[in-house]
Amino acid sequence: MLRAIDNFDGQLTVKAALQLMALLFPRPGELRAADWSEFDLAAAVWTIPARRTKMRRDHRMPLPRQAVEILTGLQTITGKGNLVFSGIRSAARPISENTLNAALRRLGYTQHEATAHGFRASASTLLNESRRWTADAIEAQLGHLDPNATRRTYDRGDHWDERLEMLTWWADHLDQLRTGGEVRLSGQRRKGTKPRAEVMPRVRARKRSRRRVRT
């Protein structure tokens, strides 16, 4: 899938959004409506303001080198406006989630195989299965709140240092997969084609019972 996204020949803002969904796995709406004022590329930090987050609190996100490079390239396209991912018809409106999902359909993935929101489920699964990172750091990166009010009161850290290391590892890991690392073959195939080589598992969002609030 990563190689397919890199070869996407549609709107450049859509391609960049899909690349960043894989790297950062934010909520699609939080990425699509991102404003350039939220990014400090020199410090490699994206701060999503509380008014735009589901949990209604600021959410800081570390930016790995690969994400900074993508955003730096986007500045030459949309940097004169406010929106990072402005629509093709109006610079005052962001691309829609339907646009991202339509791009995935154009790449050959069905709605049962890949959705914009599904990048979050895939990243969470792979990071947890790697056993390199604490569940708290993964959940903090996803922007989830602990449903236990007492625990929330005493655990106000955002696990920043671990998340920074985790996102760096994750971005480098995706690079390895993209350039010929271990791949998985999808059982799905388009008519007249061979099975696709996948560099990520299917990214269909799945509901799982977790101890934290998920979305």
Bridge partners, residue 120, by sequence: none
- Report the alpha-carbon distance of residue 2 to residue 70 in Å, rounded: 14
Per-position DSSP letters for 109-123, written without gaps between them: --TTTB-TTHHHHHH
* Spatial CB neighbours of 107, under 8 Å, sequence gap ≥ 6: 1, 4, 5, 8
Catalytic residues: 27, 54, 117, 120, 144, 154
Q: Where are the beta strands (DSSP E) in the chain?
A: 39-40, 45-48, 59-62, 184-185, 197-198
